[in-house]
Each structure stands twice: as C-alpha cells, then as structure tokens.
Structure 1
Amino acid sequence: MKALFIVDLQNDFCPWGALPTPKGDVIIPVLNKLMDKFDLVLASKDWHPEDSIHFQKWPKHCIQGTKGAEFPDGLNTEKINKIFLKGTGNKDDGYSAFEATNENLAEYLKQNNVDEFYVTGLTAEYCVKQTVLDALKNGFKTYVIKDGVEGIYQNEGDVEKAFKEMEEAGAILLTSNEIK
C-alpha cells in the first residue's frame, strides 16, 4: 500500500505565517494533484502549547487551536485520512512525525500495510528531513517528492544538503510527474 505523507503544511509555515517558509504555499496544488494516486493520505501538524520551550529556539508558531496551526486554504483536507500531532508537550520539539503523541505513526503504517511511504511538506531542512530519516530507521521504503517539499532557507545550501542527507540515508528522491 502507498501512503502520501504531508509534513506540517500549516498557516504559520506559509509565507504569511509566524515562521514563514518563503514558498511554502507553492506546494499546495502539487499535493492536491497527488492525493488521488495514493491509498492513504496522511499529515502531521506541529501542535505546540503556548508555553513550549521550543519557542526559545524559534518564534511562536502553530500553537494548539490557533489559525496558525490550521491547514492553509486551498489544501484538499477532505482527502486526508489521519492527522498526527507532534510537539504537543511543553518540553518537546517534535520535528519528526514519528514523534506524534496522538498515535504511533510507525504502528499505524504497519497496521495499514504501508510499504511505500512518500513524503512531502515543510520544511526540508527540519521536519521533512527528520520524518524521512525516522521512516527509514523504521524500515519503510521512503520516497521524497522534491516538488512537494519546500525549505525555510535559513542558510544558503541547507535545502540541498537536507535532500542529499535524505538520499544518502536511503530515501529515493523523485518528482510528482514520476508518480503513476
């Protein structure tokens, strides 16, 4: 079974948000087009409490129950089968979707016989990369859909470095046009 996974495509990570990814919204049409090609469509959300120590490193973003934590308008959320919440405690960062607290992602994928895990979302250098690396550690054949991923671009070359690190760890990089 093939699963499409959307990492943290939330208002606060879009260009208008509290922790903006400069082109975070350009992946929305790509993801909407891909959804029908998968057996399962899953997503993660950063879901931080207001008093999270995570905000010592980053601006406040994706606070539980706020507009910033919601999916952006335009994303076809009706096709999303399950949402995994991460960073829910005040002492956890929750970079990887495999750190979700509402459900164990690895167990969920195994219970649903997922053997191909396709990752998209925000941001390449942090949550996407960590989710991909954890998927590989959990034994899933993992793909990264490059035109379905955007970076925060804090430092020059970070996005390319993240893609390289994911590929060297065993992820297969491809574009949305290559998915049948």
Structure 2
Amino acid sequence: MDVETLLEKSKPFLEYVVEWYNTLPVLPVAEVVQGQPEKVAVVSVDVINGFCYEGPLASPRVANLVGPIVALFEKCHAAGVRHFAVTQDAHPEDSVEFESYPPHCIRGTSESETVEAFQSLPFWNLFAVIPKQSINSAIGTTFDAWLDERPGVDTFLAVGDCTDLCTYQLAMHLKLRGNAANKKVRVIVPADCVDTYDLPVPVARDIGATPHDGDLLHRIFLYSMRLNGIEVVAKIE
C-alpha cells in the first residue's frame, strides 16, 4: 500500500481521533477522590533531568510537563491523597538499552535525578522513588511491591513521559495488573500531564536516527489507552 492510499483510507479514523482528543473532558479532582483519598495514588514516570533539561534525550515538550504535574500533585495532596510514586531511569553504564537509544540517565549522574520542582514540594517525603532500567516501570523494579503494600488503592493517575513509551507501559501495567487479578481498577491519564518527544524525518535522516512524530504518536497512544479501558481526560482540576 502506498502512502497516498494509506492516508486516504486512514483519514476518517484520524479525523475521529483528532476530534476525540480535542474534546477530552476536564475531570474535577473531587470526582477522582470521591471522598476516599486513601484509595487514590499518583504515579509519575521519567520526569527527570535527563528527559527534561540535559543530555541527548532531553526534550522541551517533556520539560513543559513539569508545571502541570506539580500542580496535579498539589491538587491531589490538598484533596487528601498521600500515595505518590515516581519511577525513573537509572541505567548502568553498559545498559543494553543503549543499543536502541543513546546513553542517557546513567545511575548516579544528574540526568538520573528527579527534577528539582518535584523535590521542592513540601510533601516530597511522601514520594517513593523507584529506579528502573527499561521503559517498563514494573519489570525488575520494586514497583509491584509498592503496589502490593497498598491493596486498598484502586484509582491511579498516571503521568509523565513519554506517551508512547514509558507512560504507555505504566498506564497499561496498572490496568492489566488489575485485569489479571480480576480487580476493578480505575486508571486515569490527564493529557496535559503526558507528552512525547518529536524528531522530524529530515532531522532523523541527517543524524542517522529513527524518526518520531510526537504529535501523531502522542494522540495514537492515548487512544490505544482508551481502547484498553484507561480513562483519558484533558486535565484534572
């Protein structure tokens, strides 16, 4: 199938996805908490210096998430939520992931550190910091143990980067973990608190990298979350 045929065939679907994304609802934090903040957890993935401010994988699109996520943390804390976690890359120097991506967020470097805006929160002591060595927050980490220690939590807010990589893996893990246990779990992804990087085709070709359309992949992967029972909203206020 050539590109013109594919574009023509896919146009109705893409129009549907764009309309869906542009009309996402705003969700009040009170509707998230529903008077039971002890049942709610907020999990952020990879909002660290190496994806926001420095290093080969830093992206201004990701850096722009810091403010909205901090605001979300503050809203949830004010509503009584006390379960917070950040999962984040902390790679060994010889990480096999570097066969797919440039060396980044090496353990012990400033790239692997949580952004200062998070660490400056007056309730930062409530956050569990969970290092990871892949785009999955649970494989080879203590994340599932953290979840097991909170069996009463059934509502999760998943935020961070990148929409089609670590955030997708996080949200899907939370949802599928519940499905596998036949446990009803609500997973909410506010679109203003997730994003992915953009690498246009001409630039990618010049540097010998793989192109990555940030706007398209952001929307398609949010839509895939929706298909799997994850609640995607514009924002939580």
TM-score of the alignment, normalized to the shorter chain, above 0.5: yes
Distance 1:137 1:177, change over 3 A: closer
Larger Rg: 2
Distance 1:8 1:58 in 2: 15
Task: Determine whether 1:49 maps to 2:49.
Answer: no
Between structures 1 and 2, the one with greater helix share: 2
Counterpart in 2 of 1:97? Answer: 137
Q: What is the SS of the residue equivalent to 1:144?
A: strand
- 2:187 pairs with one of 142, 163, 171: 142
**How far does the alpha carbon of each residue in 1:85-144 deviate from its partner, in whole angstroms, 9 at most, with x for none?**
111xxxxxx21212242x1x2342232221101100011110000111111110132111
Task: Determine whether 1:165 maps to 2:224.
Answer: yes
Corresponding residue pairs, total: 170
Counterpart in 1 of 2:164? Answer: 125
Distance 1:117 1:99 in 2: 18
Distance 2:95 2:117 in 1: 29
TM score, norm. by length of structure 2:
0.67
CA positional deviation for 1:15:
4.6
Q: Is the 8 A contact 2:188 2:230 kept in 1?
A: yes
CA positional deviation for 1:166:
1.0
Distance 2:92 2:165 in 1: 19
Task: Determine whether 1:39 maps to 2:82.
Answer: yes
Counterpart in 2 of 1:81? Answer: 127
Q: What is the SS of the residue equivalent to 2:41?
A: strand
Deviates more, 1:126-135 or 1:71-80: 71-80
TM score, norm. by length of structure 1:
0.86
**How far does the alpha carbon of each residue in 1:20-43 deviate from its partner, in whole angstroms, 9 at most, with x for none?**
223111111111112131331110
Deviates more, 1:163-172 or 1:76-85: 76-85
Counterpart in 2 of 1:70? Answer: 113
Between structures 1 and 2, the one with greater strand share: 1
RMSD, aligned CA:
1.7
Distance 1:11 1:26 in 2: 12
Distance 1:107 1:114 in 2: 13
Q: Which runs of 4+ in 1 moved over 6 A?
A: none
Q: Is the 8 A contact 1:125 1:162 kept in 2?
A: yes
Q: Which runs of 5+ in 2 are unaligned?
A: 1-38, 179-184, 200-211
Counterpart in 2 of 1:90? Answer: none
Q: Is the 8 A contact 1:98 1:135 kept in 2?
A: no
Distance 2:61 2:110 in 1: 19
Distance 2:189 2:67 in 1: 17
Percent identity reads: 24
Q: Which runs of 5+ in 1 are unaligned?
A: 88-93
**How far does the alpha carbon of each residue in 1:23-76 deviate from its partner, in whole angstroms, 9 at most, with x for none?**
111111111112131331110011110001110110111100000101123224
The one-letter code sitting in structure 2 at the alignment partner of 1:130 is: Q
Deviates more, 1:65-74 or 1:107-116: 107-116
